Amino acid sequence: MARITLDGIAHSYLPRPRGPGDFALKPLDHVWRDGGAYALLGPSGCGKTTLLNIISGLIAPSRGRVWFGERDVTDLPTEQRNIAQVFQFPVIYDTMTVYDNLAFPLRNRGASDAELDARVREVARVLDLTGSLGRRARRLSADAKQKISLGRGLVRPDVNAILFDEPLTVIDPQLKWELRAQLKHLHKQFDFTMIYVTHDQTEALTFADAVVVMVDGEVVQMGTPEELFERPTHTFVGFFIGSPGMNILPCTVTGATAQVGAHAIPLPCRYPTLGADAGRVELGIRPEFVHLTDLPDGYPVVVRGVDDVGRHKVVKVTFAGQDLNLTAPEETVVPAVGARLSFETARLNIYRDGQLIAGTPIEREAA
């Protein structure tokens, strides 16, 4: 097991990249802590799978070095890096039994029969596969096959890290919960470094201690799920994380007040004046922090529609001429006319050209 260090890694699929646009992965430095659970989150084509394959050695980076602990592994082939990888579609050896599938990596490494048997049975036990050990792997369901793929990694005593490339794509929603919980549990138990690539925010946020959000080959933010949710440093993160994403409203800012259309909204911080000439200035607020209110000082809005998601409602409103979403509890009766809303002041963020701006926090008298 080892810390993984990426030192100035960049990759282009073109033999002679000309500009930054030719890079699928732009220069990146990063350290993956030993035993950490990480997620790489981003839309298709953001470079997350490229990054994963650079770590596993399936792709040689155009630039930079990869270190496992104190060892430079940039030029080492995959099989010598002691990593395991679980792919999007389950990879199993069709003609083998579940037992032989799990034993395969150990056999290839010349493990003794007794050691092999003990490891295989132990891994089968933690993955609930004991009952299927004698069955042919190809007859199993997708989730069991994916467990076998994972098991072939767990079975090896020498594994530095387990990499996951959208492993739950072909799994039904109900089973996703089981597999995810099992994975999380295994992580606690085995303490492997795990890196998990996905486009699904729920998977990324629930799996990882730290989530790396990528777009267009670049890391836009890395942080704990809480940080990403509460203080996205970029409007893209605000939009990409959360369901629905963060509301982004163009505004101007004077001191501790944001002006959205005709409405002046008090802010939790004091900012340098950001007028119409300050570039793109936006107010970001999560739908979870916008509430319907009966108080007369609420901002009047027009309700465009309500999506009942079961556990809560997503209310779609027009506020100052702009679309805005808010979530409301399951039982809420949304008024057809005369609805008003309030913002949780502490949750308001200000962005300039997409980047979060830090303000000076102010003490505010209780409103």
Partner 1 sequence: MDTKPVNQRAWLMVAPVLVIVAFSALIPLMTVVNYSVQDIFGPGEAYWVGVEWFQEVLRDRRLHDALFRQFLFSGLVLLIEIPLGVAIALAMPRSGWKVSLVLIVLALPLLIPWNVIGTIWIIFTRPDIGLFGVAINAAGLTFDHTARPLDAWVTLMLMEVWHWTPLVALLAYAGLKAIPPAYYQAARIDGAGPWSVFWYIQLPKMRGVLTIAVLLRFMDSFLIYAEPFVLTGGGPGNTTTFLSIYLVKMALGQFDLGPAAAFSIIYFLIVLLFSWVFYQALQNVGRADRAGGGPQG
Partner 2 sequence: MAVVLEQVSRVVGRESHLAQVSLELAPGSLTVLLGPTLAGKTSLLRVLAGLDRPTMGRLLVDGRDVTGVPVQRRSVAMVYQQFINYPNLTVFENIASPLRAQRVAGPELERRVREAAALLKLEPMLARLPQELSGGQQQRTAIARAIVKGADLLLLDEPLANLDYKLREELRTELPRLFAESGATLVYATTEPTEALLLGGSCATLTEGRVTQFGPTVEVYRRPNSVETAQIFSDPPINLVPVDKVGAALLLPDGGRVPLADGVAGLRDGPYRLGVRPNHLALVRPNQCAVAIIGTVAVAELTGSESFIHLDYGPARWVVHAAGIHKPTLDEPVAVWLDPARLYLFAPDGALAGAGAAIGLGAA
Binding site for partner 2 (CB under 8 A): 43-45, 142, 172-175, 177-178, 180-181, 184-185, 188, 199-202, 205-207, 224-230, 239-245, 286, 288, 307-311, 330-331
Reference 34, options 66, 6, 69, 7; nearest CA is 69
Exposure string (b/e) for 193-217, b if CB count within 10 Å is 16 or more? bbbbbbbebebbbbbbebbbbbbbb
Q: Which entry of partner 1, partner 2, none binds 189, CB below 5 to 8 A by partner kind? A: none
Smallest distance, partner 1 to C-beta of residue 361, A? 49
Any idea what DSSP says for residue 354?
T
C-alpha 6/C-alpha 323 separation (Å) is 41
The count of residues in the chain is 367
For residue 61, give every residue at least 6 positions away whose Cβ sits within 8 Å of its Cβ, in sequence order, or none: 9, 10, 11, 25, 54, 74
Please state the closest distance from residue 109 (CB atom) to partner 1, in A. Answer: 5
The binder of 84, among partner 2, partner 1, none, by C-beta within 5 to 8 A per type, is partner 1
296 exposed, middle or buried (CB, 10 Å; 0-12, 13-18, 19+)?
Answer: exposed
Rounded least distance, CB 72 to partner 1, Å? 20
Q: How far is the CB of 233 from partner 2 (least distance, A)?
A: 14
Pick out residues in 126-155 that bind partner 1 (CB under 8 A). Answer: 136, 138-139, 141-142, 149, 152-153
Question: 202 touches which of partner 1, partner 2, none (CB within 5 to 8 A by kind)?
Answer: partner 2
DSSP-based three-state secondary structure for 209: coil
Closest to partner 1 by CB, 104 or 229: 104
User: How far is residue 34's CA from residue 303's CA, in Å, rounded to a whole number?
Assistant: 49
Residues 6+ apart with CB under 8 A from 172: 143
**Residue 217 partner contact from partner 1, partner 2, none using kind-dependent CB cut-offs of 5 to 8 Å:** none
Write the CA distances from 134 to 95, 128, 140, integer angstroms. 12, 13, 12
Site for partner 1 in 57-116 (CB under 8 A): 58, 77-79, 83-85, 87-89, 91, 93-96, 104-105, 108-109
Residues of span 38-57 touching partner 1 by CB under 8 A: 56
Which of the listed partners (partner 1, partner 2, none) does 105 bind, with a CB threshold of 5 to 8 Å by partner kind?
partner 1
Residues contributing to the site for partner 1 (CB under 8 A): 56, 58, 77-79, 83-85, 87-89, 91, 93-96, 104-105, 108-109, 136, 138-139, 141-142, 149, 152-153, 170
